[in-house]
Amino acid sequence: MPPRIRESEVAAQWDRNAEVWADQVRKNFDIFRVHWNNPAFLEFAGDLRGKTVLDAGCGEGHNTRILRNAARA
């Protein structure tokens, strides 16, 4: 059985990595997100033009900006 990882250890690792991750997302370095995840996400959301949207998820706001732009289109 693999060793159990404590939640506090996961949180500490995330805190150490968050700034680098956010920078990479903002620069579109996450190719999977840019080419597959985001297009599928927007297709699933449907036509957002003129709608009010709420991104109540996690992250640094990348998807919020995508939704805002889709609603303004």
The per-residue pLDDT for range 44-72, each reduced to its tens digit, is 999 999 999 888 877 788 888 889 999 99
pLDDT at position 4 over 80: yes
Predicted pLDDT at 3? 86
Q: Is the pTM of this model over 0.85?
A: no
36: confidence class by pLDDT, cuts 50, 70, 90: very high
In this prediction, residue 46 carries a pLDDT of 95
Query: Which amino acid makes up residue 34?
Result: V
Q: What is the mean pLDDT of the chain?
A: 90
